[in-house]
Amino acid sequence: RFETCWPALMKDSHGVIIIFNPELPSHLKEIEMWYSCFVQQQPLLDSQCLLVAHHKPGSAGDMENLSLAYPLNKLKLIHSNLEEDPEDVRMEFIKYFRSIITIMNESREREEMSIIS
C-alpha cells in the first residue's frame, strides 16, 4: 500500500538490507518482490544487497538449511538471533557497510577521472 513512496526510498541509495523471518513462508515470497523492486530495478549490484534471516528468541528455526530461490541464493545471507549472537550480527553489518563505502568511493573516483579526462 506504500508503493507510491518507493521511488523516494530508492533515490540515491547505495545498498539494500532485506530483513525477513525465515519461519514465515510468505516472507520468502515477499523478499523476491523486494529484491526485484529495490535491487534489480535500480540497478544495484548483488554485492550491494544483504539478506538478514532474523530468528525470533526461542524459535526453533533451522539456521543452516535455509534454501532460497534464484537469484536470492546468490546474495550474502546472514542469520540473526540477537539473544545468541549479537556480536556476530554487528560484525556482519560492519563488513557490509564497509563494502558499500568501498563501492561508493570507487564510483566517485571513476566519476572524477572521467571529468578530468
Query: What is the C-alpha separation between 68 and 72, in angstroms, rounded?
Result: 6
Residues 68-97 have pLDDT tens digits of 888 999 999 999 987 877 888 899 999 999
Domain carrying residue 91: 3-116
**pLDDT tens figures, 36-78:** 999 998 889 999 999 999 988 776 655 567 888 889 999 999 9
Task: Tell the residue number behind the cell numbers 539456521, with chain if given.
Answer: 63
Please tell me the total count of domains within the chain: 1
| Residue-by-residue DSSP string for the chain | --GGGHHHHHTT---EEEEE-TT-HHHHHHHHHHHIIIIITTT--GGGEEEEEEPPTT----SS-----TTGGGSEEEEE-TTT-HHHHHHHHHHHHHHHHHHHHHHHHHHHHHHH-
Q: Is the pLDDT of residue 3 over 90?
A: no
